[in-house]
Amino acid sequence: MSIKQLGFTLLALLIMAGIAWGNGYHTTLSDAASLGQALAGITRVESSTTALDLPAAMPFLEQGIHVLGGALRQTSEFSFKGATGKGSTDSEPILGMFVNAVWNNQQIALGISQNFPFNASIDWGKNWVGRHVLAKVDLHVGNTSPVFAYRTGNFSFGGGLNLYEGVVELQRTTLIIDNDNEVRSILGGDHGTGVGYNLSFFFNSNHFNFGVNHHSPLTLKTHGADIKFDTDDELAIQFTPLFPDTGVRVELLLPSVTRIGLAVKDRQEDPNYLIEMTFTRTGWSNYRELRFHFEKTVGGSQESVEEKRWNDTTEFSFGGNYIFKRDGQNNMRVRAGIFYQPSPIPKKVLDPFTPDTTRHGFSLGVGIKRDDWLIDVSYLTETFPERASTLPELAGVYDGAAQVIATSLGYHW
């Protein structure tokens, strides 16, 4: 790898952190009930999670104010095998939170949701074979979305804004001189923001639901990002002029995401069962290149463009719920689901930050409704079959697995 390429690799990882939308570390999780159905069920009309899953469905909730909040815990593990060696990591447990609220008079509804669609904490270690690509990453990105909806008969329409904000820290070895001398890099101080919009449509009949929720592409702009290079080793100090600490500016177009749900049920209000197929289409082909500018010259240049050319993906989720105990307005229900997620990343750019393979798995959950309270607990497991990477800097085979547990609590006035 050339000195110029070495200087740009760390910043490329920053951008990948910002767009790990499809598989990677992105989730459209709105509550534990959604997780229990493997993220299938955007047409559910149960709680204020409609503010995120399908804003157009908000007017079909009971009249009044609905609130719901909760948390999740995710653990994952990855392994790598290549011609130059092996590596493995157990990610630090990730704790995520979500909260949403809806006011509804069954014709007009206003809502707001807040979740963390990107969360990652992976430490491959300072001495592993791929440390020149990535050693450690901590990523936390939140989305706040104010939305509205209007209902006419069995149809309703909704829309709103997506307000993204997040931080990321990355560590890697930029240059390996020998076993005792390296140039190490830390990227941090980044504050990224972006604004997009969402539009949705919902049709609710006695025996089936149909909904579409579209999130626009958006431009993520970074503020205050900087790269610091550690050249304190005896032989590394000579490279200090080539790798000065510097700020950087980045703008990147993020992909569109469209979710379509089709569900069958036994009756219109509070059905005994609901089974849904959800399709998620992510416009990854928008991500064709990285373009960024350094405030100082790094590796002989202040600007760089790298081609990525990711692929659009279609994710399938199939899940549902069934009420096995009912007492008036109170009930208990079981949830289950399966899913399939293809990777958007071509083999030639597959790396240890997003070691994405085609993912599949299943989930289970239990929900309780008592008076105006809602409680859900759910569990999801997924496996990542082996997938080869032809990345010139680190060719090899990745695999992994992940587990998520979530709980949520809601109330209606």
Residue type, 30: S
pLDDT values of the chain reduced to their tens digit, one per residue, 413 residues:
333 333 333 333 333 333 333 344 455 667 889 999 998 989 999 999 999 999 999 999 999 999 999 888 888 788 888 887 888 776 666 667 788 999 999 999 999 998 777 666 777 777 788 777 777 777 777 789 999 999 999 999 999 999 988 776 777 776 666 666 677 777 766 677 889 999 999 999 989 999 999 999 887 777 666 777 776 665 556 666 667 777 777 666 778 889 999 999 987 678 899 999 999 998 888 776 666 677 777 667 676 666 677 888 899 999 999 999 988 889 999 999 999 988 888 888 887 877 777 888 899 999 999 999 999 999 999 888 888 888 888 888 888 888 889 999 999 99
What pTM value is reported for the model? 0.83
Name all domains of the chain by residue range, CATH numbers in brackets.
3-412 (2.40.160.60)
- For the record, the structure tokens of 71 come out as 């948390």
